[in-house]
Chain A
Amino acid sequence: GAVVSQHPSRVICKSGTSVKIECRSLDFQATTMFWYRQFPKQSLMLMATSNEGSKATYEQGVEKDKFLINHASLTLSTLTVTSAHPEDSSFYICSARRSSGGNTDTQYFGPGTRLTVL
């Protein structure tokens, strides 16, 4: 168990458009999900913590209005990159923690979404 999926796996868009990335916990409920971005050969950078039914908590330096996060259910969180620009091109990865039943400390990661903005 503890499978997390992301959709899409790759997306290419034009500058100025918005892109939505979905993160789903497939076999467990997740009150808390996390969104990261990762640049080549670097470690993960936490962007925001997403809590079901409440507003996300953003890390310092992350623009709330640009990276919209919605966690509408216990199995789904979405990240929308609004008015994307080439500098937003990156690898976006989500993770989820179990709400209950088993290891509730471990973050399980999705496969990632490669965003390319032209």
Chain B
Amino acid sequence: EDQVTQSPEALRLQEGESSSLNCSYTVSGLRGLFWYRQDPGKGPEFLFTLYSAGEEKEKERLKATLTKKESFLHITAPKPEDSATYLCAAAPSGFQKLVFGTGTRLLVSP
């Protein structure tokens, strides 16, 4: 069964304290791995798509990496405005739909 697991469930950081969020996946032939950010009461905002092991993508303080079993979202020197829930989703090969993890709630304190 296709499955995506995110850890930790919640993470509290001080401003400037770098950390990483983990997304482990087991899907039948990965077509793509997606990261989204979701603020309370809003729809998910697209961040990155990763397709193959070893691929990395960056956007401001965020960097996403992919291995054959996991993806990491690295947050460098976070700011309070980075506080949100970060969702990871995997697309199996021949996919129509995404398999979502339950998300990591990130809180960055000033």
Are A106's CB and B34's CB within 8 A?
yes
- Contact status B46-A108, CB under 8 Å: yes
Asked whether, in the complex, the Cβ of B103 is within 8 Å of the Cβ of A43, the reply is: yes
- Number of residues from A at the complex interface, CB < 8 A: 24
Known: A106-B32, A112-B43. 11 other contacts (CB 8 A): A46-B98, A49-B97, A57-B96, A93-B44, A95-B44, A105-B32, A105-B91, A107-B98, A109-B44, A109-B46, A112-B41
Q: Roughly how many angstroms separate A34 CA and B45 CA in the complex, as a whole number?
A: 15
Residue ID in chain A nearest B32 by CB atoms: A105
How many contacts between A and B, using CB within 8 angstroms?
49
Question: What is B's interface to A at a CB cutoff of 8 Å?
Answer: 31-32, 34, 36, 41-46, 49, 87, 91, 96-98, 100-103
With A105-B32, A105-B49, A105-B91 as contacts: A111 and B43 at CB distance below 8 Å: yes
| Distance between Cα atoms of A44 and B44 in the complex (Å) | 10
Asked whether A25 is an interface residue with its Cβ less than 8 Å from the other chain, the reply is no
Interface string of A70-95 (1 = CB under 8 A from B): 00000000000000000000010101
Residues of B within 8 A of A4 (CB): 43
Q: With an 8 A cutoff between CB atoms, is A60 at the interface?
A: no
Q: Write 30 A-B pairs (CB below 8 A) sorted by A numbering.
A: A6-B43, A34-B97, A42-B102, A43-B101, A43-B103, A44-B87, A46-B97, A46-B98, A49-B96, A49-B97, A57-B96, A93-B44, A95-B44, A103-B49, A105-B31, A105-B49, A105-B91, A106-B32, A106-B34, A106-B46, A106-B49, A107-B34, A107-B46, A107-B98, A109-B36, A109-B43, A109-B45, A109-B46, A110-B43, A111-B43
